[in-house]
Amino acid sequence: MVKLVIDMMGGDNGVNATVPAVKKLLNDFDDLFIVAVGEEDKLAELKDEKNVKIIPSKTIVPMECSVMQAMRMKDSSVNIAVNSVKNEQADGIVSAGSTGAFLSLTTLILKKLEGVDRPALISPFPTLIENKYVVLLDIGASNENKAHELVQFAKMGQAYCKVIYNNDNPNFYLASNGAEEGKGSPVGQEAYTLMKEMKGFKGNIEARYVLKGDADVVVFDGYSGNIFLKSSEGMAKMMSSLMKDMFKTNIFSKIGYLLAKKGVKKMRDKMDYKKVGGALLIGVNTIPVKAHGNSDAESFYYSCLIAYRLAKKNLIKELKEKLN
């Protein structure tokens, strides 16, 4: 049995996203038990479900929230949810609420794994190669990292790859501003030297080649990983919007769109971040998945699915082996 704690109140859509997602999960998986934390009257639909325990909460931590504030709001859904992981001996936790609050509460209350100085946000991304994903970390948990932390990221990325893609020997690259040794920030250069001794290290990679499909894992420091994530998102948005305009140009392009519809759908599916699910905070003593703040039921479902799969495949055990 996999046991997940769900913060039912977090995110822009709150229970409108989480309740249908949880119902679908319970329907799809017999070996999943859910601890749902939220305002009781809003979770009425879940009361009679099998494999659910409801733990009541009173308040909701706002999306922009300091760590101190989140710590003090002891009756908030996210605070109770994080504490429930320990009390209920759950395998993981999912929330669409404030990223800062979720990451810091999880790290402070559930503790880091031995051999990890900084947990990292990790997520797979689509590549140019069909059905091939590249695993990126840290995409934004830290503001600044030291060289040995980047080395830990590499190990954790490899463990993740092994668990989720059954890839026993994942390669990894270090994101940099040039491919050759000697490129990169001072911290990056130091990390390169340490990584040269590690199995699977293929050297530096420029951001433009990250999605090409050669890499299994790419290590970023948290600050530039976040820039990568957000700039890719911005460019994807710009191109989607240009594409919409393109089809609106004239009556022929509108007919063209109708004829090309199937291809457009295929492209959309590939770029669909909803199906990639939220990002995992890797390196803490549980499986915490941060769903996007604006998750709808579908994308919240996929975030929970990630936690379920990683718990089932025992990511924590794999990480402990890799880190020691």
- Nearest approach in angstroms of CB 265 to a copy of itself is 9
- Smallest distance, a copy of itself to C-beta of residue 89, A: 34
Q: Which residues contact a copy of itself by CB under 8 A?
A: 64, 126-128, 140, 143-144, 175, 177, 180, 184-186, 206-212, 223-224, 226-243, 245-250, 252-253, 255-264, 266-267, 270-271
Question: What does residue 217 show for φ and ψ, rounded to 5 degrees?
Answer: -135, 135
Between 50 and 266, name the residue whose CB sits nearer to a copy of itself: 266
Q: Strands across the sheet with 133-137, in order?
A: 52-56, 32-38, 2-7, 92-95, 287-290, 279-282, 120-126, 133-137, 217-219, 172-176, 201-206
Smallest gap from residue 92 Cβ to a copy of itself (A)? 25
Q: Which is nearer to a copy of itself, 67 or 297 (CB)?
A: 67
| CB-nearer residue toward a copy of itself: 169 or 241 | 241
Q: For residues 169 and 198, what is the distance between their CA atoms, to the nearest angstrom?
A: 12
Q: Which is nearer to a copy of itself, 76 or 176 (CB)?
A: 176
Shortest separation between residue 81's beta carbon and a copy of itself, angstroms: 23
Sign, Cα dihedral of 56, 59, 64, 65? negative
**Shortest approach of a copy of itself to residue 106 CB, angstroms?**
19
Cis geometry, peptide bond prior to residue 138 (ω within 30 degrees of 0): yes
- Looking at the chain, list the stretches that DSSP marks H as alpha helix, in order from N- to C-terminal side: 15-28, 67-72, 77-87, 99-110, 147-165, 186-195, 222-248, 251-271, 273-276, 297-312, 315-323
Cβ–Cβ under 8 Å, residues 119 and 283: yes
72 vs 248 by CB, closer to a copy of itself: 248
Of the pair 144, 321, the CB lying nearest a copy of itself is at 144
Cα separation of the two ends of the chain:
27
Minimum gap (Å) between residue 215 Cβ and a copy of itself: 12
